[in-house]
Amino acid sequence: MAADTMMAGFPDSKDNLIWDWAAIAKAVPPGTYKLAQDIEDDQEALHCMTGWALSQYSFDRYQQNEEENQNDRILVWPTGSDKIQAQAVSAVGGISLVRNLINTPANHMGPEELAEAAIELAALHDASCTVITGEELLEADYPAIHAVGRASDRDPRLIDLVWGDEDAPKLTLVGKGVVFDSGGLDLKPAGGMKLMKKDMGGSAQALGLASMIMDAGLPVRLRVLIPAVENAVSGNAMRPLDVVDTRKGLTIEIGNTDAEGRVILADALFEAATEQPELIIDFATLTGAARVALGADLPALFCNSNEVAENLLACATTVCDPLWRMPLWKGYNKQVDGKVADLNNAPEGGMGGAITAALFLERFVMDEDGNIPDWMHIDLMAWNLSNRPGRPEGGEAMTIRALFAYLNERYDK
Ligand code: BES
Ligand code: ZN
Ligand code: ZN
């Protein structure tokens, strides 16, 4: 293997360009700055503006005594290109939305508040947003979302945002919206539960990307589907080895109540696929296994189309927003089969857990003839474990700048 092939994908100085600008902004004293030389390259200008602005982000909703004004390192924008400036504003807005949603603690970010955030976003862009709540989920035939969410005092929901020209190519985003994942009856230990306010991180990415798409007026008919639940413990919680119905009709045997994400996504993804959109993208903090495989900063991409995956990964490199492709390895399909039901949500042994989770989801985007629209499944952390310039510890937007670049290439001809 040639040396350059072996090294492909290893971090080099280019992988960090956007955060280098954030580091500069963090290093200088408060004041207004202008670059000595304008940046000619559009991509570099985008890195500069986005990185600089993100370095000023902080989550201060709960702090009364703000000692320092965070927004006091101002940069005179280094480019004349309106389009790039608009893209930077839109990216910073989308990313800040993602971070705020994730950072808001679960006591203030229940299924209702998540729905309100979607409604608020829809109102900004003249989109429609409907919400199916509690028992209505059973009437509307979303039994899996209800089964996972019914144990909480805070009713589960399906959030459904629609925007754009009905005749434009259909793009559907789906995001895991587990506002807190206690693990259910197969309760998580304290260390594993601590960060689980971020288990709605997939839905936050979907809303952040939707915000960027609508801001840019991308010529698509956009739909965002968010199953929003709390995975709680109570007398009516789903139990290990319960069998849960789904919208598709397939039954799921609950091997572990902590594998709740794929159960709610089953109903949402089936609904997404029923419309036969051109492209479905789902985001989820789905498995610990994906984090074991790739670490906290590198989201896993599963995609049924080589062409789509390759184009996305090229965009990811350009905009410094990485993903790593993992296989929808058919050989593991049997592991997803249930013993008494059609499917099992937690295969024995757990090996290849990110892959088996993705194969589980695939069953719900697939139609009766085995056809799947273009589909990306992104299993991500949605959280920074430590502070770095532009990337403070806490909720994080991951992959949405890469996807926005890809969608621009695909749709904005
Ligand atoms: N929300 C978790 C996955 C998770 C944990 C993502 C930590 C990121 C960081 C998910 O609902 C879960 O608990 N999955 C289980 C599945 C298992 C029981 C089959 C897991 O990954 O351990
Ligand atoms: Zn879980
Ligand atoms: Zn979860």
Q: Give the C-alpha separation, 13 to 7, whole Å.
A: 13
What token pair was written down for 347? 């295969």
Does the annotation mark 176 as catalytic? no
Ligand 1 neighbour 267 (Cβ under 6 A): no
For residue 51, the tally of other CB atoms under 10 A from its CB is 26
Of the candidates 197, 262, 291, 363, the residue annotated as catalytic is: 262
Beta strand 73-76 with 31-34 is parallel
Query: Within 10 A of 373 (CB to CB), how many other CB atoms are there?
Result: 19
pLDDT value at 70 more than 70: no
For residues 254 and 192, what is the distance between their CA atoms, to the nearest angstrom?
20
Residue with CA nearest ligand 1 atom 16: 259
Q: How confident is the model at residue 408 (pLDDT cuts 50, 70, 90)?
A: very high
Q: Are 164 and 247 in contact (CB under 8 A)?
A: no
Predicted pLDDT of residue 361 = 98
Q: What is the CATH number of domain 89-411?
A: 3.40.630.10
Report the amino acid identity of residue 242. D
What is the pLDDT, as a whole number, of residue 45?
94
Q: Is 190 exposed, middle or buried (0-12, 13-18, 19+ CB in 10 A)?
A: exposed
Q: According to the 3-state scheme, what is the secondary structure of 294-314?
A: HCCCCCEEEECCHHHHHHHHH
Average pLDDT over all residues of the chain: 94
Residue 222: count of CB within 10 angstroms of its CB: 24
Buried residues in 90-124 as b, exposed as e (16+ CB within 10 A)? bbbbbbbbbbbbbbbebeebbbebbbebbbebbee
Q: Is 262 a catalytic residue?
A: yes
Give the tens place of pLDDT for each residue, 94-137: 999 999 999 999 999 999 999 999 999 999 999 999 999 999 99
**221-231 vs 157-163, strand pairing mode:** antiparallel
> Is the confidence at residue 211, as pLDDT, over 90?
yes
pLDDT at 159 over 90: yes
* Nearest ligand 1 atom, CA 183: 13
SS (H, E, C) the chain: CCHHHHHCCCCCHHHHHHHHHHHHHHHCCCEEEECCCCCCCHHHHHHHHHHHHHCCCCCCCCCCCCCCCCCCEEEECCCCCHHHHHHHHHHHHHHHHHHHHHHCCCCCCCHHHHHHHHHHHHHHCCCEEEEEECCHHHHCCCHHHHHHHCCCCCCCEEEEEEECCCCCCEEEEEECEEEEECCCCCCCCHHHHCCHHHHHHHHHHHHHHHHHHHHHCCCCEEEEEEEEEEECCCCCCCCCCCEEECCCCCEEECCCCCCCHHHHHHHHHHHHHHCCCCEEEEEECCCHHHHHHHCCCCCEEEECCHHHHHHHHHHHHHCCCCCEECCCCHHHHHHHECCCCCEECCCCCCCCHHHHHHHHHHHHHCCCCCCCCEEEEEECCCEECCCECCECCEECCCCHHHHHHHHHHHHCC
pLDDT at 192: 97
Residue list, CB under 5 A from ion ligand 3: 178, 181, 199, 261
**Tokens 């209800």 correspond to what residue?**
146
250-303 pLDDT per residue, tens: 999 999 999 999 999 999 999 999 999 999 999 999 999 999 999 999 999 999
pLDDT at 69: 54
Whole-number pLDDT of residue 3: 37
Residue with tokens 């201060």: 60
Query: How many angstroms from the chain centroid is the CA of residue 41?
Result: 29
Atom of ligand 1 nearest to the CA of 261: 11
Q: Residue of the nearest CA to atom 13 in ligand 1?
A: 258
Q: Contact, 136 vs 178, CB < 8 A? A: no
Per-residue confidence (pLDDT) for residue 412, from 0 to 100? 80
Confidence of residue 162 (pLDDT cuts 50, 70, 90): very high
Residue 22 dihedral angles phi and psi, to the nearest 5°: -65, -40
pLDDT of residue 16: 86
pLDDT of residue 12: 61
In the chain, the percentage of residues whose pLDDT exceeds 70 is 95
Supply φ then ψ for residue 72, to 5 degrees: -110, 15
Please, which pLDDT band fits residue 5 given cuts at 50, 70 and 90?
Answer: very low
Q: How far is CA 302 from the centre of its chain?
A: 13
User: Would you state the structure tokens that stand for residue 107, as one six-digit string?
Assistant: 């006591």
**Mean pLDDT across 390-404:** 98
Mean pLDDT of 199-207: 99
Reading the block at residue 201, the tokens are 């991180």
Stretch 237-249: mean pLDDT: 98
Q: Is the CB of 285 under 6 A from ligand 1?
A: yes
Whether the pLDDT of residue 1 is over 50: the answer is no
Q: Give the closest residue (by CA) to ligand 1 atom 3.
A: 287
Residue 231 has pLDDT above 80, yes or no: yes
**Tens digits of residue pLDDT in 310-367:** 999 999 999 999 999 999 999 999 999 999 999 999 999 999 999 999 999 999 999 9
Question: Where in the chain are the domains?
Answer: 1-56, 89-411
Task: Compute, in angstroms, the gap from residue 86 CA to the centroid of ligand 1.
Answer: 37
* pLDDT reported for residue 81: 81
Q: Six-digit token pair at 65?
A: 């005594």
Task: Tell me the Cα Rg of the chain.
Answer: 21
Is 50 exceeded by the pLDDT of residue 6? no
Mean pLDDT of 222-233: 99
The residue ranking higher by pLDDT, 90 or 72, is 90
- Assess whether the C-beta atom of 186 lies below 6 angstroms from ligand 1: no
CA of 259 from ligand 2 middle (Å) equals: 5
pLDDT at 13 over 80: no
For residue 199 and ligand 1, the question of a CB distance below 6 A is answered with: yes
CA distance 336 to 252: 10
CB 338 within 8 A of CB 251: yes
